[in-house]
Amino acid sequence: MREQSRTLPVSGMSYTRFGRIQHFQPPGIDKDLSAVRREKPRDWNRYPEISDLLVGRVPGRTSDRQITFFLNNVGTGVQFAAMGYCAYRAAKEKGLGREIPTDWFPQNIKP
């Protein structure tokens, strides 16, 4: 189930070609961010999601001059975990790298 899209003011979106991620925005947060309040609201439906990029519905960057934008106000970073898994799987298929003992990471951290 997709979360409902929100129109949010964000500096820098006019420079990006794609890069919308749905996320939870706590109600009233824009009142706490005076710099954000001064920005022009953006229609997030104009921008594709990372899933659109991954399945080929939209093209990726076509030159180094293009900017990729990611907005994540809640800090979960799930896209980094997903890409990390893809890198891990590719390395494992090629016989690269080595296993790291999980007891090196005893802490359970949540955002």
Domain ranges of the chain: 7-97
Distance separating alpha carbons of residues 81 and 53, to the nearest angstrom: 17
103, two tokens: 């007891």
Cβ atoms 110, 76 nearer than 8 A:
no
pLDDT, one tens digit per residue, over 75-110 is 667 778 888 899 999 999 999 998 888 888 777 666
pLDDT of residue 10: 47
User: Is this structure's pTM higher than 0.75?
Assistant: no
Q: How remote is the C-alpha of 73 from its chain's centroid?
A: 10
